[in-house]
Structure 1
Amino acid sequence: MVHGGPETTVVSGPDYTTPNWAASALVVVDLQRDFLDGGAAAVPGTSAVVPRVAALTAAFRAAGRPIAHIVRLYRPGGSDVDLPRRRHIEQGGRVVAPGSDGAQIPAEVLPAPVSLDSERLLAGREQTVGAREVVLFKPRWSAFHRTRLEDWLRDQGCDTVVVAGCNLPNCPRATLFDASERDFRAVLVVDAVSQTSPERLADLERIGVRLADTGTVRRALSVPAR
Structure 2
Amino acid sequence: MSYTSPNWNTSILITIDTQNDFTLPDAPAEIKGTSDVLPEMRQLLEAYREKGWPILHVVRLYKEDGSNVDICRKEIIEKGARIAVPETNGAELVEELRPSGYNALQAEKLLNGEFQSIGEKEWVMYKSRWGAFYKTDLEPFLHEQGVDTLVFTGCNFPNCPRTSMYEASERDFRVVMVSDSMSQVYEKGIQEMKNIGVYVCELDQVIESISDDDVQTVT
Normalising by structure 1, report the TM-score: 0.91
Write out aligned runs for 1:121-200 (5 A).
121-200=110-189
1:194 CA drift (Å): 0.2
Q: What is aligned with 1:85? A: 73
Aligned counterparts of 2:71 and 2:189: Cα–Cα separation in 1: 22
Q: What is aligned with 1:23? A: 10
Aligned counterparts of 1:21 and 1:164: Cα–Cα separation in 2: 15
Answering whether residue 34 of structure 2 is matched by residue 66 of structure 1, we say no
Asked if the contact 1:76–1:91 (Cα under 8 Å) also holds between the matched residues in 2, the reply is: no
Percent sequence identity over aligned pairs: 42
Structure 1 runs, 4 residues or longer, greater than 6 Å off: none
Amino acid at match of 1:52: E
Amino acid at match of 1:88: I
Amino acid at match of 1:78: G
Q: What is aligned with 1:6? A: none
Q: Which runs of 5+ in 1 are unaligned?
A: 1-13
Write out aligned runs for 1:11-50 (5 A).
15-36=2-23, 37-50=25-38
Aligned counterparts of 2:152 and 2:215: Cα–Cα separation in 1: 21
Aligned counterparts of 2:77 and 2:85: Cα–Cα separation in 1: 9
Figure out how many residues of one structure are paired with residues of the other and give that number: 213
Amino acid at match of 1:33: N
Is 165-174 or 59-68 further displaced after alignment?
59-68
Task: Give the 3-state SS of the residue equivalent to 1:15 in structure 2.
Answer: coil
Amino acid at match of 2:9: A
Larger Rg: 1
Provide the aligned C-alpha RMSD in A.
1.2
Q: Which has the higher contact order (CA 8 A, sep 6+)?
A: 2
Is 188-197 or 114-123 further displaced after alignment?
114-123
